[in-house]
Amino acid sequence: MIGMLSALLLSGILAHPQRLCRDVRSCEQLCAPPSTLARVDAGSVILEDQLDHAAAFARNRTIECLWHLGRLGERARSAQVRVAAYLEVQGWPLRVVAAWALGRMHADGQVVALRARLHDNEWQVVAQAVHSLVLLQDSSSISSLRKLSEEHWYPAIRTLASRGIRAIRSGRPHALDAYFMSTPNRPVRDQYISPDENPFAHWFPWQAATGTEPPDWFCEPTSENQRSIGRNSVSWSGGRLMGANRGEFVGALYWLKHGKKHRLASGNVVHIQSIDARRAWVLTGYAHLGMQSGALLEVDMTPYGKPHIRKLFNLPGDPIVLRTSSDGITVHTSTVNVRVEPAMERNGFIIRRVACSNPRKSTQ
């Protein structure tokens, strides 16, 4: 009996092969896992929800959420308002990744927010905003990019803005991709040091900054050499500002007063310059394994007798030395010289103007 039923079933299947194919497809749809697109949609919603909670744990988790939302592209566009909110946060790495994500998400509704980042204090954020505006092919940003190409203090940003204008006018949204990833403009990592700009090629910092011979350690150094040598301990506000440079193990900035040491900030301190009894400038930076970074900090004594530290801006390279003059300061880095003209206003110290030059190229 069973053999007869099997024969009848087999003959029916062979007589109607299209029915067999339809049944197999139905079975596959019932048994198959969710499609890739469905998983992407679900992932976008999950990542949006995680943004609300990530900040409570760690900045790195927030950066990871923003990064993955950007990788989802247009399918994560519903999260563009939440992502754009991170363009206004204090931590510049978050602003960089938020600008990066909005460009990949094709967030046309956030063009104004991205354009505002062209005036960001950190050049890395500006670079990423330019790249994202080019990805969005926003022609209304050409005038802002033209102004950036003429006025920004960092030559690499001026070049990037000029190329961005050409990419928008020619309708090539990905024209900057290769340039952005292969030059020091790349903001998602530290800058690359080319062989002829390697700071370790110099014997001493003052040789790189001034081209002079190192001072004789067995005699009193001249005032010129004293200004050139990076100092990691200075008298300031009734105490001492001290900096530690521990390389890859990371140093710190301390304030010592009445025998008590107060930690003000982490980072490798390269140079400390006391401006007056209430203000000091601090250079921090590091170069390691072909990458480099640096920043200019200001330390200010509050009316309550406690030092307050804030970062003025990131440097385009690891700093070597800071030199002062009557009209401003010059920060010598391994790649360029950064000229800063300070100004005092009622609310305190501000940066009025920043200029940049390459001493190696200017002498050729």
Q: Is the dihedral of CA 357, 291, 114, 107 positive or negative?
A: positive
- Cα of 351 vs its chain's centroid, Å: 20
What is the full per-residue pLDDT of the chain (364 aa) written as tens digits?
445 444 444 444 444 444 434 443 443 333 333 333 344 444 445 555 555 554 544 566 777 778 888 888 888 888 888 889 889 888 788 888 899 999 999 988 899 999 999 999 888 889 899 999 999 999 999 999 999 999 888 888 888 899 999 999 999 888 877 766 554 434 333 333 333 333 333 333 333 333 343 333 333 333 443 333 345 778 777 788 888 777 767 778 888 887 777 888 877 888 888 877 788 888 888 776 666 778 888 888 888 878 888 888 888 777 877 777 776 778 877 777 787 776 544 444 455 456 565 554 433 3
Provide the pLDDT for residue 19: 45
Q: Report the interhelical angle of 142-151 vs 123-135 (nearest 10°).
A: 150
Domain with CATH 1.25.10.10 in the chain: 36-189
Beta bridge partners of 241: 234, 255
Rounded to whole angstroms, the Cα distance separating 150 from 155 reads: 9
CB atoms closer than 10 angstroms to residue 176: 22
Determine the Cα angle at 201 with ends 225 and 191, to 5°: 100
Residue appearing with tokens 């390279």: 317
Domain 36-189 homologous superfamily, CATH: Leucine-rich Repeat Variant (1.25.10.10)
Task: State both tokens at 322.
Answer: 């800071």
> CA dist 161 to 141, 166, 173, 231, Å?
10, 9, 14, 37
Length of the chain: 364
Provide the pLDDT for residue 151: 86
pTM of the model: 0.63
Provide the pLDDT for residue 208: 36
Rounded to whole angstroms, the Cα distance separating 285 from 317 reads: 8
